């Protein structure tokens, strides 16, 4: 990406304010959580809150402060490996499944680490930045925003293990219902361009923008609801293999799935007795979007419904196309599973250097999700955004929108 032209236009004061705002949002998210809450890890794929707070600081420290801020000193040399997530080029890493055992540095020390990094960053941002550094600052902020969402999905999973069903973040937003009756929105297909068109920041995996051919298709005007999904369950959705991909059916049986993640058991009325959320247990709302589905479940539901999942190209073309206004809930409610494996775009090249590990090395055995969720921070969503997770993942705010061949 060419971040140079735009970054040159940003005044240092704007830059410092933006940095401060993004960083403060992470801390505000974590604020309701105790030191204990912030320490634990409930599965290898999820990380402790404290680790998210530290890792995002490590990112700025490692990519900007250590190479570019003369005289910068880290609070502790061990943070280099403790808070490295997966960058092979940036040295050894603490084993991922053991992140929840790091009680020291404690939360106060991690907060001090953030403040230490922030002070040094503020000094760096006050001066002139060349294009590469400006790009890395921008990347660091987008990276932090990604972790702001993960922080929420991970603490939801962690506290879901507690039989007391505590509210992790009582002020977290609820997933809004669309309010519209279902309708198909026709899309003409034909030649379409997808990928980031600029200006503004985008990840490397959204490039290069490129043309492709689409057949005519249609998309649901809104996301699938809890009530619709409950009908699938009531018709034996989790008991009939015909709806499922082979791996999906094996997962259903191995994991004993009978409903989306976080649904409480069914009550006498055949509906779940509630749904565990960041706000604690909330009532089942038939008109609200269903969340916390795996790709397997999303695809099985679509099969049952006589439809299919959209491809990522179909999603993006529609979202940027003339009928987009009829498509509700494209953003801010739930990530939407697509039928597209996470493959590189034609001509894709990872960023140079260590940040080249950000996206490219994960391009296998994952599926693309499009849109954004209720937990996506303001300013982070894009129509060209390619989120990706393995097909069995359900702890994200992931739902689905139906598609059909026209």
Interface positions with a second copy (CB under 8 A):
34-37, 39-40, 42, 76, 78, 81-82, 86, 88-89, 94, 98, 100-107, 158-159, 161-164, 166, 191, 210-215, 241-242, 244-249, 295-296, 299, 311, 339-344, 346-347, 361-365, 367, 391, 405
Cα torsion at 192, 202, 397, 309 (round to 10°)?
20
CB of 129 to a second copy, least distance (A): 28
Residue 256 φ/ψ region, left for φ over 0, alpha for ψ in the -120 to 50 degree band, beta for the rest:
left
For residue 115, give both structure tokens: 């403040």
Please state the closest distance from residue 294 (CB atom) to a second copy, in A.
11
Q: What angle do CA 248, 254, 255 make, to 5 degrees?
A: 90
**3-state DSSP assignment of residue 8:** helix
Q: What are the tokens at 177?
A: 């219902």
- Between 248 and 377, name the residue whose CB sits nearer to a second copy: 248
Buried b (16+ CB within 10 A) or exposed e, 299-328: bbbbbbbebbbbbbbbbbbbbeeeeeeebb
Angle at 208 between CA 406 and CA 11, to 5 degrees: 120
Q: Is 168 helix (H, G, I), strand (E, B) or coil?
A: coil
State whether the Cα torsion 126-131-134-140 is positive or negative.
negative
Residue (42 or 372) nearer to a second copy, CB: 42
DSSP 263: B
- Nearer CB in complex with a second copy: 229/388: 388
Q: 261 to each of 25, 177, 311, how far by Cα in Å?
A: 27, 19, 24
Nearer residue to a second copy within complex by CB, 201 or 296: 296
User: What minimum distance in Å lies between the beta carbon of 390 and a second copy?
Assistant: 8
Nearer to a second copy, 180 or 365 (CB): 365
Q: How far is the CB of 202 from a second copy (least distance, A)?
A: 19
Q: What is the dihedral of CA 249, 253, 259, 263, to 10 degrees?
A: -140
Strands 367-370 and 387-389, by their bridges, are antiparallel
- Considering beta carbons, is residue 73 or 240 the nearer one to a second copy? 240
Maximal CA-CA distance, the chain: 66
Q: Which is nearer to a second copy, 377 or 391 (CB)?
A: 391
CB of 211 or CB of 283, closer to a second copy: 211
Joined together, the tokens standing for residue 332 give 């801010």
Supply the minimum distance, in Å, between the C-beta of residue 358 and a second copy.
11
- Provide the β-strand partners of residue 399: 336
C-alpha of 187 from chain center: 27
Decide: helix, strand or coil at residue 210: strand
> Measured from the CB of residue 82, what is the shortest distance to a second copy in angstroms?
7
Which residue, 141 or 169, is less far from a second copy as judged by CB? 169
Q: How far is the CB of 139 from a second copy (least distance, A)?
A: 19
- Minimum distance between the CB of residue 251 and a second copy, rounded to whole angstroms? 11
CB of 340 to a second copy, least distance (A): 6
């Amino acid at each position: 990406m060419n971040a140079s032209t735009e970054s040159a236009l940003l005044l240092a004061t704007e830059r410092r304010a933006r940095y401060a705002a993004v960083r403060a949002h992470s801390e505000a998210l974590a604020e309701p959580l105790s030191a204990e809450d912030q320490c634990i890890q409930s599965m290898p794929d999820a990380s402790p809150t404290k680790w998210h707070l530290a890792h995002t600081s490590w990112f700025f420290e490692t990519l900007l402060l250590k190479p570019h801020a003369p005289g910068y000193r880290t609070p502790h040399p061990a943070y280099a490996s403790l808070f490295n997530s997966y960058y092979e080029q940036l040295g050894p890493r603490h084993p991922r499944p053991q992140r929840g055992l790091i009680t020291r540095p404690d939360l106060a020390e991690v907060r001090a680490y953030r403040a230490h990094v922030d002070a040094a960053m503020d000094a760096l941002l006050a001066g002139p930045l060349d294009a590469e550094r400006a790009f890395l600052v921008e990347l660091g902020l987008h990276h932090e925003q990604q972790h702001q969402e993960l922080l929420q999905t991970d603490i939801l999973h962690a506290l879901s293990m507690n039989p007391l069903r505590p509210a992790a973040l009582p002020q977290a937003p609820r997933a809004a219902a669309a309010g519209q009756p279902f309708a198909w929105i026709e899309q003409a297909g034909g030649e379409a361009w997808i990928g980031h068109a600029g200006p503004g920041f985008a990840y490397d995996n959204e490039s290069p923008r490129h043309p492709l051919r689409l057949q005519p298709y249609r998309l649901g005007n809104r996301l699938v609801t809890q009530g619709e999904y409950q009908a699938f369950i009531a018709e034996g959705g989790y008991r009939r293999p015909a709806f499922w991909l082979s791996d999906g059916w094996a997962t259903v049986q191995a994991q004993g799935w009978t409903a989306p993640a976080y649904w409480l058991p069914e009550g006498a009325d055949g509906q779940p007795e509630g749904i565990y959320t960041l706000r604690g247990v909330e009532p089942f709302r038939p008109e609200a979007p269903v969340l916390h589905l795996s790709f397997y479940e999303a695809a099985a539901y679509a099969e049952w419904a006589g439809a299919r999942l959209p491809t990522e190209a179909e999603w993006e073309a529609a979202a940027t196309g003339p009928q987009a206004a009829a498509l509700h809930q494209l953003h801010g409610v739930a990530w939407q599973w697509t039928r597209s494996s996470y493959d590189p775009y034609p001509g894709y090249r990872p960023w140079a250097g260590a940040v080249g590990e950000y996206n490219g090395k994960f391009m296998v055995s994952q599926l693309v999700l499009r849109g954004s969720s209720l937990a996506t921070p303001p300013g982070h969503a894009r129509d060209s955004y390619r989120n990706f997770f393995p097909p069995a993942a359900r702890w994200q705010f992931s739902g689905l929108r139906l598609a059909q061949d026209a």
